[in-house]
Amino acid sequence: MKTPLTPLDLVRRGLHVYAERTAVIEPGSVQFTYRQWGERIFQLARAVQAAGYGGRNVAVLSPNTHGGLLTYSAVPWAGSVLVPLNTRLSPQEYEFQLRHAEVALLLVDETLAERVQDVAAGLGIEVWIMGDALGAAQAFEARLRAQDSSPLPVPVQDEDDTITINFTSGTTSSPKGVMLTHRNTLLNAAETLYYFKLDSDSVYLHTLPDFHANGWGGVWSPFGVGATHVTLPAVRAEAAYDAIDRYGVTHLCAAPTVLSMLTDPAQARRVSRSVRVATAGSPPHARTIADMNDLGFHVTQVYGLTEVSPLITVAELSAAQEALPTAQRAPLIARQGYEMLLAGEVDVLDEHLQPVPHDGVALGEIMVRGNLVMKGYYRNPEATAEALKGGWFHTGDVAVTYPDGRMEIRDRNKDVIISGGENISSVEVEGVLYAHPAVREAVVVAMPHEQWGEVPCAFVALHQGQQVTPEDLNAHVRAHLAGFKAPKHYEFRDELPKTASGKFQKFILRAELWQNQARHVN
């Protein structure tokens, strides 16, 4: 007998085995047992079906609330595809993503509704507002109460069907919608359970935005073992520490910027029990690791991309390496490490798709082939073919392999800037800069930044006789894109470096910003 692989089966198991255990807590708001959580899942699934959206694409725009978390199970249980949206985008960006993903219904948290209601109306998309306040959010709860709460069978017929479409900033001006399958996400969720050591006594704090590649599987995996979810709508150090102390948090995931927030001397507290932390986006600094250890946190670095479900490597340490002093252990944690148990083949390959020497010097590109690689980019077969050429998924990350087999990223082929865990397409920012009437040429590259790891820097050449200030350009960019995508520094040049064929030489500009640094990523 064969049944399709799906992360919904983890949720189903949790609802069946741990009915009276606490499933979800939202501090200062509500909490639900597994039985109550299951009732809400089935009510929302039936509501989606009753409104005619079963089998269609349904978007969610929400911070880490109990309502947002509910959609990751309820929408697929309705037979629909979930489209999680970044909470920090502009109306223009939402318009593109909603249209491109062919979204029919939008579930939005009450705190974000004003940002997208006009956009959704213009596209003919129905909007349901979620939340705890009166008014429209109350109507959402009434919609749930009108539905039967009895269990529904897991609806998946084919494990290779799409469960989510997750947008990621790529190397083109338009974001790409990554189609992840039930099989992809179940195997990633299982890896999360294994490496993160979650069990029925675990309490998982949602510090990582759930829209980031489905919270690295955290929207499903803890349910499978009866763990408790604690949602955190706004990630602040004080709120995180309060939740850790009050609810006995044992696990959390976060970008290194959040670790820096937790270790800030003005906010830092020593935790009463060990808290496991998975971090990704950029390697944590050795000082941050040491500070986290001193506070009682145990940090492990993981690495991946949305296109690979998203985690594929882990900075795995032996017991002997775990016992090393921080100064010796931190460099090992800072490397991307080894392929994960279910990631398939993950290797550093040269242009002929052959492994580079394991000498810590020879450069190649991290490539992947296996069960975690995406189904493809939604409505973008050309980009899909390019990403999967040669039978490998090309990450665009340039790396070395050490004699012990550990991988370490040294640079990026893709024109992507990873700032505080957020992907920023340099080409997208350049496109907006070119729309300013004073700008003749614009090139955006990453520059190192102490707090965010790396941030966009814009090199700009103006039309003859034109004058413009960095403040003018910044206001222009922010009028079209989310604020975190705006360059943090502007350099004005008469000419920008180009090849003989007229192609911009970004590597020259990057070298100016990253001189005297061994790695050109941070």
> Per-residue confidence at 398, pLDDT binned at 50, 70, 90?
confident
Dist CA 224 CA 16 (whole Å): 10
Dist CA 291 CA 286 (whole Å): 9
Contact 269, 241 (CB under 8 A): yes
Task: State the pairing for strand pair 162-168/176-181.
Answer: antiparallel
Q: From 289, 363, 294, 369, select the one nearest 327 (Cα to Cα).
A: 289
Query: Which one has a higher pLDDT value, 193 or 507?
Result: 193
Question: May I ask the CATH class of domain 344-412?
Answer: mainly beta
> What does the pLDDT average to over 70-96?
96
Helix or strand holding residue 94 (H, E): helix 91-100
The residues with which 347 forms a beta bridge, in sequence order, are: 367
> Per-residue confidence at 268, pLDDT binned at 50, 70, 90?
very high
Dist CA 349 CA 182 (whole Å): 29
Residues of the chain with CATH 2.30.38.10: 344-412
Predicted local distance difference test score (pLDDT) of residue 285: 67
Q: From 13, 302, 316, select the one nearest 154 (Cα to Cα).
A: 13
> Per-residue confidence at 152, pLDDT binned at 50, 70, 90?
very high
Predicted local distance difference test score (pLDDT) of residue 213: 95
Predicted local distance difference test score (pLDDT) of residue 422: 87
> What does the pLDDT average to over 24-40?
96
Residue 335 has pLDDT above 90, yes or no: no
Q: From 63, 70, 144, 69, select the one nearest 110 (Cα to Cα).
A: 63
> What does the pLDDT average to over 274-291?
82
Predicted local distance difference test score (pLDDT) of residue 66: 97
Predicted local distance difference test score (pLDDT) of residue 505: 83
Dist CA 114 CA 110 (whole Å): 8
Residue 173 has pLDDT above 80, yes or no: no
Predicted local distance difference test score (pLDDT) of residue 326: 79
> What does the pLDDT average to over 342-353?
97
**What's the fold here for domain 416-514?**
GMP Synthetase; Chain A, domain 3 (3.30.300)
Instruction: Give φ, ψ of 360 to 5 degrees.
Output: 70, 10
Return the percentage of the chain with pLDDT > 70, whole number: 96
> What does the pLDDT average to over 462-476?
93
User: Mean pLDDT for the chain?
Assistant: 92
- Which of 156-170, 212-226, 460-474 has the highest mean predicted lDDT (pLDDT)? 212-226
Predicted local distance difference test score (pLDDT) of residue 184: 98
Residue 484 has pLDDT above 90, yes or no: yes
Exposed / middle / buried, residue 141 (Cβ in 10 Å: 0-12, 13-18, 19+): middle
Predicted local distance difference test score (pLDDT) of residue 134: 63
> What does the pLDDT average to over 10-28?
97
Residues of the chain with CATH 3.40.50.12780: 8-254
Predicted local distance difference test score (pLDDT) of residue 240: 97
Residues of the chain with CATH 3.30.300.30: 416-514
Predicted local distance difference test score (pLDDT) of residue 171: 43
Instruction: Give the count of alpha carbons within 13 A of 196, CB side only.
Output: 30
Residue 175 has pLDDT above 70, yes or no: yes
> Per-residue confidence at 501, pLDDT binned at 50, 70, 90?
very low
For residue 320, the 8-state DSSP code is: H
Residue 264 has pLDDT above 80, yes or no: yes
Predicted local distance difference test score (pLDDT) of residue 327: 78
> What does the pLDDT average to over 482-487?
94
Task: Report pLDDT digits (tens) over 426-463.
Answer: 878 888 898 899 998 889 999 999 889 899 999 999 98
Q: From 190, 202, 205, 53, select the one nearest 128 (Cα to Cα).
A: 53
Query: How far is the CA of 300 from the CAs of 254, 257, 281, 284, 423, in angstroms?
Result: 11, 15, 12, 9, 21
Assigned architecture for domain 8-254: 3-Layer(aba) Sandwich (3.40)
Predicted local distance difference test score (pLDDT) of residue 57: 98
Task: Report pLDDT digits (tens) over 65-75.
Answer: 999 999 999 99
Q: Is 421 left (phi over 0), alpha (psi -120 to 50) or beta?
A: left
349: three-class secondary structure by DSSP: strand
Task: Report pLDDT digits (tens) over 116-138.
Answer: 999 999 999 999 999 986 677 78
Residue 106 has pLDDT above 70, yes or no: yes
Residue 246 has pLDDT above 50, yes or no: yes
